[in-house]
């Protein structure tokens, strides 16, 4: 740590001046670029921005010496130096003179009892405040916790790096208090111990290779920094399809090395576990959750972990799902299974995320009453109240599986006495696998804002998962991230907006999508107005464009579900046990999920939502085929028939994908060449793929319906 004593304000100005020259001659955005810094690039400030920050203090006073406060100070010093060329001095516990004062609220009160934010800070919140301390103008960064102070540093740096308006970062007026919306702001990685990542599109695992934890954990440490910068406080390291060996002593020892590099960033590590572990690796003849030997086994394993990793977060469980063993082997319930593990973790303050993704993938497709969408609610709603308080039910946003458009899972409103977290998929499994652009924040916003109308009162999903509606002690958001060793983490530079957006929404689901993408673009590409305008416009359109050429009207993503989940393959969903059916035949298309004539799925929603979806007159077009089976000639609210919509939307979507390329070309010379060319190639590829999708789906729809395209683009119109 630096402890030098004095640097004058003049030097600050001069160094900043030097930085300006540098910025004019060699802007960082034109330098070699790998994308590894993501949104933490801390580029040299442009002249106007530099002017604004010239009046900032040149000293940091650190009110404490915890690991996290040290991280916070180092991040602040490093970033300020990188952006301005100026080295901050660091002092401990002194309060003399103009300074950035960094610590927890508790430390701050000890320094000056009259300083307190408008609302009491709890948990990981922070307060950025300009105030006089002992007569000197200071900028306070205070956290409800040490971690909150670190978040405050990242927030301040983000403002500076985005070159926000002088008023927003004016030393004399700064007064901003932020509190995270949800306690649980976690990511899951689906990394296998051999280094492959299930549904990962950014290269091999940053944690594991060849069955072991990597010896070099530099990338893991950089990942923890990225996560902390957007307020993520937990990370599950391994695939939910978990290898039992993860719980062996030798492996726990290795995992503790990952925990060591995550700890300075306040990100807890956790593990996915296989429910059959007591038998498969523990040598017992059973894994029955109600057997006392099994309970003892979990207690001992938890003890072994916490001895090595005292701040371990807990376990994630996928059981009785897609071939994984589970409590049903012994006629037990998910509550029995979750609780036996929860009780082992409870003395250590750990939690269990028990996934609600439990369904039968051998459903009889002949039976029109069968419906995979009903599974989560059917399995978990009857158990409401049976789970211990340190169990969180982790529920995918939709009832099927991360399709491009689904209604929200009814289970989100179906647990009143049980904690829950919503699981969102950041990695683009069904949404183009990072080869197509698909910015998911607009979709997630719709999900989080959807009002379930519980007991005839407003109950948006964000409030349900956070525990506000039913006054639950904990809950929040989990995102399946799957970053990898690719230099740019996710394989595509633009896809990183999804990881950023996930973190920002977990912190504050009320942030507008436009604001989130604006922030991300400025931090990632700089604040050139043309660059910001072009990238934000493309990203904000991208989900709807992808939807329009892959899966319109709520029919699901019409992809090959038996293979790569990427190419068009609408027929692969039908006539098998996986239950991702569209029920498309020569007469009509869509799943009848009504209570009267269909599967009854709609009956799982609260009454007002049932009414919305049950009524053909009110059901929104974009979900029509999810809830209803209709003839191809059925008239939508838009005035088009279903079939004409399918044709038009596919042609429209493919045209818009092509337009993205044209829009991107306007950025030549305005961003670094590497990213310019990389993204151009991706967009050109996407434009071609969109045509493949368009033709595959339009021809499929024409073959089934026999109804030609009014505009003569698909099939042959016998009338002409
Ligand atoms: O959709 C499926 C994915 C699987 C995944 C599963 C799950 C980890 O195709 O790869 O398994 O969801 O969420 O458990």
SS3 label, residue 476: strand
Q: First-to-last CA distance in the chain?
A: 80
**Would you state the pLDDT for residue 170?**
67
Taking residue 65's Cβ as centre, other Cβ atoms within 10 Å add up to: 11
Rounded to two decimals, the pTM is 0.94
Q: Specify whether 684 is catalytic.
A: no
Residues 6+ apart with CB under 8 A from 24: 47
Tokens of 626: 């999810």
SS3 label, residue 142: strand
Q: Please work out, in degrees rounded to the nearest 5, the angle formed at the alpha carbon of residue 453 by the alpha carbons of 451 and 456.
A: 155
The residue contributing the CA closest to ligand 1 atom 1 is 401
Pocket of ligand 1 contains residue 196 by CB under 6 Å: no
pLDDT for 114 beyond 90: no
Pocket of ligand 1 contains residue 423 by CB under 6 Å: no
Which of 53 and 408 is assigned the larger pLDDT? 408
pLDDT for 100 beyond 60: yes
Choose which residue among 197, 199, 200, 326 to substitute to test ligand 1 binding: the one with the highest number of ligand atoms within 8 A of its C-beta: 199
Q: Which residues of 324-339 are buried (b: 16+ CB within 10 A; e: fewer)?
A: bbbbebeebbbbbbbb
Residues 42 and 63 sit within 8 Å (Cβ to Cβ): no
Residues 6+ apart with CB under 8 A from 106: none
Average the pLDDT over each of 6-10, 426-430, 614-618 and give the range with the smallest value: 6-10
Quote the CA–CA distance of 18 and 252 in Å, as a whole number.
50
Pocket of ligand 1 contains residue 401 by CB under 6 Å: yes
Ligand 1 atom with minimal separation from the 199 CA: 10
What digits encode the pLDDT tens for the residues 383-427? 999 999 999 999 999 999 999 999 999 999 999 999 999 999 999
Pocket of ligand 1 contains residue 191 by CB under 6 Å: no
Average the pLDDT over each of 159-173, 604-618, 656-670 and give the range with the smallest value: 159-173
Q: Specify whether 322 is catalytic.
A: yes
Query: Cα of 115 to ligand 1 centre, how many Å?
Result: 49
- The mean pLDDT value of the chain amounts to 92
In terms of Cβ atoms closer than 10 Å to its own Cβ (0-12, 13-18, 19+), residue 24 is: exposed
What digits encode the pLDDT tens for the residues 208-223? 999 999 999 999 999 9
**Would you state the pLDDT for residue 410?**
98
């Amino acid at each position: 740590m630096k402890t030098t004593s004095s640097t004058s304000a003049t030097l600050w100005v001069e160094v900043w001046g030097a930085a300006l020259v540098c910025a004019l001659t060699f802007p960082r955005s034109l330098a070699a670029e790998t994308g590894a810094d993501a949104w933490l690039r801390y580029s040299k400030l442009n002249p106007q921005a530099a002017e604004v920050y010239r009046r900032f203090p040149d000293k940091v006073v650190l009110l404490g010496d915890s690991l996290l406060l040290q991280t916070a100070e180092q991040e602040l010093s490093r970033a300020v130096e990188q952006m301005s060329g100026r080295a901050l001095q660091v002092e401990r516990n002194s309060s003399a003179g103009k300074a950035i004062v960094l610590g927890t609220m508790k430390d701050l009160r000890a320094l000056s009892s009259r300083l307190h934010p408008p609302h009491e800070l709890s948990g990981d919140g922070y307060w950025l405040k300009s105030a006089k301390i002992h007569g000197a103008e200071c900028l306070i960064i205070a956290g409800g916790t040490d971690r909150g102070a670190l978040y405050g540093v990242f927030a301040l740096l983000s403002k500076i790096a985005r070159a926000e308006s002088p008023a927003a970062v004016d030393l004399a007026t700064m007064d901003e208090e932020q509190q995270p919306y949800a306690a649980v702001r976690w990511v899951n990685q689906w990394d296998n111990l051999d280094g492959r990542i299930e549904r990962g599109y950014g290269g091999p695992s940053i944690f594991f290779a060849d069955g072991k934890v990597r010896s070099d954990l530099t990338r893991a440490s950089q990942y923890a920094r990225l996560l902390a910068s957007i307020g993520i406080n937990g990370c599950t390291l391994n695939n939910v399809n978990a290898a039992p060996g993860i719980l062996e002593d030798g492996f726990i020892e290795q995992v503790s090395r990952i925990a060591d590099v995550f700890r300075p960033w306040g990100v807890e590590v956790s593990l996915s576990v296989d429910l059959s572990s007591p038998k498969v690796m523990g040598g017992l003849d059973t894994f029955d959750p109600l057997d006392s030997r099994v309970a003892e086994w979990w207690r001992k394993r938890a003890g072994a972990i916490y001895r090595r990793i005292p701040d371990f977060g807990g376990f994630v469980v996928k059981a009785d799902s897609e071939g994984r063993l589970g409590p049903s082997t012994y006629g037990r319930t998910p509550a029995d299974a979750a609780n036996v593990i929860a009780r082992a973790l409870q003395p250590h303050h750990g939690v269990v995320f028990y996934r609600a993704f439990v369904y039968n993938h051998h459903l009889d497709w002949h039976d029109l009453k069968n419906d995979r969408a009903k599974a989560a609610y059917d399995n978990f709603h009857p158990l409401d109240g049976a789970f211990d308080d340190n169990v969180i039910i982790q529920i995918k946003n939709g009832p099927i599986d991360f399709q491009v458009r689904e209604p929200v899972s009814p289970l989100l409103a179906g647990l009143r006495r049980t904690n829950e977290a919503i699981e969102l998929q950041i990695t683009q499994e069904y949404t183009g696998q990072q080869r197509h652009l698909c910015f998911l924040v607009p979709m997630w916003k719709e999900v989080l804002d959807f009002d379930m109308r519980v007991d005839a009162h407003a109950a948006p999903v964000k409030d349900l998962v956070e525990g506000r509606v039913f006054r639950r002690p904990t809950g929040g958001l989990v995102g399946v991230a799957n970053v990898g060793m690719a230099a740019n983490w996710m394989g595509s530079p633009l896809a990183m907006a999804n990881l950023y957006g996930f973190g920002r929404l977990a912190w504050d689901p009320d942030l507008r999508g436009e604001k989130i993408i604006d922030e991300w673009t400025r931090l990632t590409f700089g604040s050139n107005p043309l660059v910001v305008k072009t990238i934000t416009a493309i990203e904000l359109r991208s989900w709807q464009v992808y939807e329009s050429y892959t899966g319109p009207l709520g029919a699901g993503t019409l992809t090959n579900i038996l293979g790569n989940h990427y190419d068009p393959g609408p027929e692969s969903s039908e006539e098998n046990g996986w239950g991702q059916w569209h029920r498309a035949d020569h007469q009509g298309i869509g799943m009848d999920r009504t209570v009267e004539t269909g599967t009854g799925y709609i009956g799982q929603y609260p009454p007002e939502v049932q009414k919305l979806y049950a009524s053909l007159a009110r059901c929104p077009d974009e979900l029509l085929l999810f809830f209803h089976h209709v003839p191809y000639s059925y008239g939508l609210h838009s005035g088009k028939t279903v079939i004409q919509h399918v044709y038009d939307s596919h042609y429209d979507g493919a045209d818009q994908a092509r337009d993205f390329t044209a829009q991107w070309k306007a950025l030549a010379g305005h961003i670094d060449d590497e990213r310019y060319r990389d993204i151009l190639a991706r967009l050109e590829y996407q434009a071609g793929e969109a045509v493949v999708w368009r033709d595959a789906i339009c021809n499929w729809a024409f073959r089934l319906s026999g109804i030609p395209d009014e505009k003569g683009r698909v099939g042959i119109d016998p009338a002409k």
